[in-house]
Structure 1
Amino acid sequence: MIMHKSETLTFFTPDVSNQSGAVYLDTGISAGFPSPAEDFKEERLSLDNILVKNKLATFYARVSGQSMVGAGLDDNDLLVIDRSLEPAHNRIAVCFLDGEFTVKRLRVEKDGVWLQPENENYEPIKITEENDFVIWGIVTNVIKKV
């Protein structure tokens, strides 16, 4: 279910009603030489159970843009955002700034709060009293397509 869409993020709520999950093979997948797959255990795995710590405060959002590529957040990645976590220096946060959502690294210094992009083509944003600013949630995981 889509909750909200802005220019930079599209928000989704996790679907925790379906507990079946995908098939999980409990064996290491070799990134080197292939290993025999004779003895493996098959079970069900729900990514929500692994990625979501607080179901009522967790949302997904799809990234649009390149400002956080240095932090590994690429265009079209899916972010897992926990609204119950405390904002802190150096955490990656989803923020509501002057009518738009953005994702940036929090930089807390003596002279104030900055939203730090992870791409040299973008400038840091200093938060002032004139800004309409809310730290909406903290990014806990990133889901990528390969």
Structure 2
Amino acid sequence: MTLTILGPLVAGGERLPLYSSHAQAGFPFPAADHVNKHTSFDDLFDIRAPHIYLVRIEGDSMQGAGIFCGDLVIVDRSLYAEHGDIVVASLNTEPVCKRLHMRGPDVILTSENPQYPPRYVLESDDLMIWGVVKHSIRAHENSPNRSER
């Protein structure tokens, strides 16, 4: 898996309309009279700069968690990583995005794809947690299924 760190997000983004009705698949656009309030990505994704940064994911090891190749993940470096969190980390200087498991003294980094075995972190390994993944963002216009139409 390859990660591309795109850098920190800055607070104070533009406020966009948030519609109060749910959009049904096939519904062309929400009506203007359903605008409930204006919000920003800062509010939606709980962005607390400078602790938040973006990472582009390469590879398929986290697809079971809904994180696919090319997705952006929003990572919060101010959170303490706990058992079960998806983290961005450095394992022996290799950047990884994995689920963190802590069982007694054992630390295990697992993929969300059965093709990849769990990685037990050994005493001789150098593990540095860079942050906890809070959200993922996917661009649908370039999805693999689009070319099949």
State the TM bucket, normalised to the shorter chain.
0.7 to 0.9
Aligned to 2:20: 27
Aligned to 1:3: none
Across the aligned residues of Structure 1 and Structure 2, the Cα RMSD in angstroms comes to 2.4
Match of 1:15 in 2: 10
Kept in 2: contact 1:63–1:78 (CA 8 A): yes
Distance in 1 separating the partners of 2:30 and 2:50? 42
* Correspondence for 2:122: 128
In structure 2, stretches of 5+ residues that fail to align are 141-149
Does residue 1:142 correspond to 2:142, yes or no?
no
2:88 corresponds to 1:98: no
Report SS of the residue matched to 1:49.
Answer: helix
**Aligned counterparts of 1:130 and 1:38: Cα–Cα separation in 2:** 59
CA distance in 2, matches of 1:142, 1:33: 23
Q: Separation in 1 of the partners of 2:135 and 2:102?
A: 22
Structure 1 pair 134/28, CA: closer, same or farther in 2 (3 Å)? same
- The structure-2 alpha-carbon separation of the partners of 1:33 and 1:97, relative to structure 1 and needing over 3 Å to count, comes to closer
1:50–1:36 Cα change, 3 Å: closer
**Alignment CA distance shift 1:33-1:120 (3 Å):** closer
TM-score normalised by L of structure 1? 0.82
Q: How does 1:105-124 map to 2 (within 5 A)?
A: 105-124=99-118
Structure 1 unaligned runs (5+)?
1-6
% identical equivalent positions: 31
Bigger Cα displacement from structure 2, 128-137 vs 46-55: 46-55
TM-score, normalised relative to structure 2: 0.81
